Amino acid sequence: MLMISRQRPRAYPQPARLVVGILIDLLCKALAGLGLTAIGVSLYRAKSLTDWSHHDPAWALAFLGSLVGYLVMSTWRMYHGKRTLCSLCRGPVFHVQSSAKNRGATKWPGLGYRTSAVLSMLFTGQYRCMYCGTPFRIKK
């Protein structure tokens, strides 16, 4: 059984960076979902894969817009994620590295460390660093 110490969460020194990281990550996921939906609807509405005469260009534009938006936002997510660091161990909060993870890190079944941390911040207002396991809260 996993025993995690019950220490009080520390206040993160720059809570605005965490909020921006949450918004960027959620927007990337929404754009990816929109792109996959646009592809699915376009393929469903096409008579065949070779006959695009009945193709609705709105879904193609939705796909292209979501693709460009996803590329821009994921680049920003990577840039922002590498610079939002844990104040204790200096590990990136929103960027998963190949180094060893702490056993007390926020990790939900079926999700990665970054997505688990983002959802934990969104729903509870706190998270555990994936590298040192220190609990942090967003509010001061």
Where residue 67 falls (left for φ over 0; alpha for ψ -120 to 50; beta otherwise) is alpha
The pTM for the full model equals 0.79
Helical spans, DSSP H, in 1-140: 15-45, 57-83, 113-124
Q: Mean pLDDT score of the chain, rounded to an integer? A: 84
How does residue 1 score in pLDDT terms, banded at 50, 70 and 90? very low
Q: What SS3 state is found at 2?
A: coil
- Over residues 79-112, the pLDDT tens digits come to 998 898 888 888 888 888 888 888 888 788 888 8
Query: Both tokens of residue 32?
Result: 């990816």
Q: Provide the residue ranges of all domains of the chain, joining segments of one domain with +.
A: 10-48+55-137
Say how far apart CA 84 and CA 94 lie, in whole Å.
7
How does residue 139 score in pLDDT terms, banded at 50, 70 and 90? confident
- Count Cβ atoms below 10 Å from residue 136 Cβ, excluding itself: 22
- For residue 49, what pLDDT is reported? 63
